[in-house]
Structure 1
Amino acid sequence: MAHFPVNHPARPLYRVLSGLIGLYILVFGVYGVAVTWGDPLFSRSGTYALGLRTNLAFSLVSVVFGIVLMIGASRRGNLGHYMDLTAGAVFLVTAILMMSVLQTSANFLNFSMSTVIVSLVFGLILLATGLYDKVGPPEHAEEERRRREHPIAETHR
């Protein structure tokens, strides 16, 4: 983890991006709960919320994930850094697993291919925001900058 940029100047932009993803997921989840309320938890019906197929279970998980991402984006320390890295990995793994069971009865979250694509994009964005959102003392940031600008580093690019 020594090579994560520390105190990156675009850190506020990455936090806003992470927060917007969290807000979208939260709104999707709340709307999905409203639309699927009364359906079975793992329904496989063709119910859509904000353009993505959903069921009550997926909507409830989305509400929780949206809240978690928004909390992470609002924190000034490294909590958001670790939450974004973890959420990005979870989104990517979930998308790949759900894509592998898309046309089977194991598709318990009622994913469609568009949901898989959105999950992959969100996962990649969250990983990127997590990579550049690390906070540290100014000495660590200066050491990281010196390491990047070292003459030996120039020859290895």
Structure 2
Amino acid sequence: MAHYPLNHHLRQTYRFFAGLAGLYLTLFGVIGLGTTWGDEFFHRGSDWVLGLRTNPAASWLYTVLGVLLLLAVLLGGNLYHHVALVLGWGLCGLGVLVMAFIQTDANVLNVSMANVIVTIVLGLVTLTAGLYGKVGSRDAARAEVDAAHHPR
């Protein structure tokens, strides 16, 4: 079973960076929707937003992911911890998956290598934030520290 530190002293800092990642994803998606409005859903044009290529499908996907991450960051607690872990791994996986299809007709999200890099970096930021976002009672945190420093 994985060990996630309880009440890490930098969890608010990591949460802030996860919020920035969610804000970027949301802005990219919303601006992309405005830019590609009226295009086919899987359009393969040359629309660029915030340094990344996009189409309506990618814009909707990143908007939903960004809003989900922002909601989790705002709600906080262990819900945020779990959502950030899942979204972090999901963004990293999405980045690797779309990289396999960049130069093919299966590039339905109209991505470039810049999209892949940004998606993986945002995924790693979100994943790291989730790793240190677990919250527990003071007694549980104290017991965890005691167990780590005084093994039986």
Instruction: Give the TM-score band, short-chain normalised.
Output: over 0.9
Q: Which residue of 2 aligns with 1:130?
A: 130
Tell me the secondary structure at the aligned position of residue 135 of structure 2.
Answer: coil
Q: By how many angstroms is 1:151 displaced?
A: 6.2
Tell me the secondary structure at the aligned position of residue 15 of structure 1.
Answer: helix
Q: Which residue of 2 aligns with 1:78?
A: 78
Q: Is the 8 A contact 1:3 1:144 kept in 2?
A: no
Per-residue CA deviation, residues 87-117 of structure 1 (Å, 9 max, x unaligned), is 0111011111100111001111111000000
Q: Is the 8 A contact 2:77 2:133 kept in 1?
A: no
Q: Which residue of 2 aligns with 1:119?
A: 119
For 1:1-157, what aligned pairs fall within 5 Å after superposition? 1=1, 3-150=3-150
> C-alpha root-mean-square deviation of aligned residues, in Å?
1.3
CA distance in 2, matches of 1:107, 1:28: 18
Structure 2 stretches of 5 or more lacking a match?
Answer: none
Tell me the secondary structure at the aligned position of residue 78 of structure 1.
Answer: helix
Tell me the number of residue pairs that the alignment of Structure 1 and Structure 2 aligns. Answer: 152
Counterpart residue identity of residue 8, structure 1: H
Q: Which residue of 2 aligns with 1:155?
A: none
TM-score normalised per structure 2: 0.95
TM-score normalised per structure 1: 0.92
CA distance in 2, matches of 1:90, 1:98: 12
